Amino acid sequence: MSLSPTALASTLAQQRVEVIIVAVVICGGIFELLRRKRLMERYALLWFATGITLLVLALWKGLLTKLSHAAGIHYLPSALFAVGFLFVLALLVHSSTTISRLTDQSTILAQRLALLQQRLDQQEGGSPESLPSAAAGEAPDAQGSATG
């Protein structure tokens, strides 16, 4: 089924308006999360960059056309979707590196807490035999409340 040129232009214009609305909603939602302190600034910057890039590409049709032809994409909404997908992919990689770093820090923190608890128990005259071995990868009960 082939659309007439006027119907195709109308559909593309409607899609551009929809993308503009989505980009504005993304930026507004991120601003609200930032205002309510539900999102840190460094993550908000990445999301704002995504929303603003989508907004600029939706408003500036010539730029989107050049980018889509350079990438070999002939349907402009698909090019816009691809740009959004690349930003989401970058956000996922950034989140994964942050989670990995925080996991390593939590492990180190739990190990230090276990060693401090062991030293405290030894100074108070507690029996070190009743403590789990920190070298065996086990931590005292206080560790569960610190990371849980």
pLDDT by residue for the chain (148 residues), tens only, comes to 567 878 877 887 888 888 889 899 989 999 999 999 998 888 888 889 888 998 898 888 788 889 889 999 988 888 888 988 998 899 899 899 999 999 999 999 999 999 999 999 999 985 555 545 545 555 455 444 444 4
Whether 83 and 55 share a structural domain: no
Three-state secondary-structure class, residue 1? coil
Q: Show the domain range for 87.
A: 75-148
- Residue 66 in any domain: the answer is no
Predicted local confidence at residue 127, as pLDDT = 56
CB 53 within 8 A of CB 67: no
Place of tokens 């739990």: 110
| Domain-located, residue 67 | no
pTM above 0.75, yes or no: no
Residue 68: inside a domain? no
Domain assignment present for residue 105? The answer is yes
For 43, residues 6+ apart whose C-beta sits below 8 A from its C-beta are 94
Domain membership of residue 34 (yes or no) is yes
Question: Is there a single domain that holds both residue 136 and residue 104?
Answer: yes
User: Quick one: pLDDT at residue 132?
Assistant: 56
Query: To 10 degrees, what angle do helices 41-59 and 76-123 make?
Result: 180
146 shares a domain with 79:
yes
Q: How many distinct structural domains can be found in the chain? A: 2
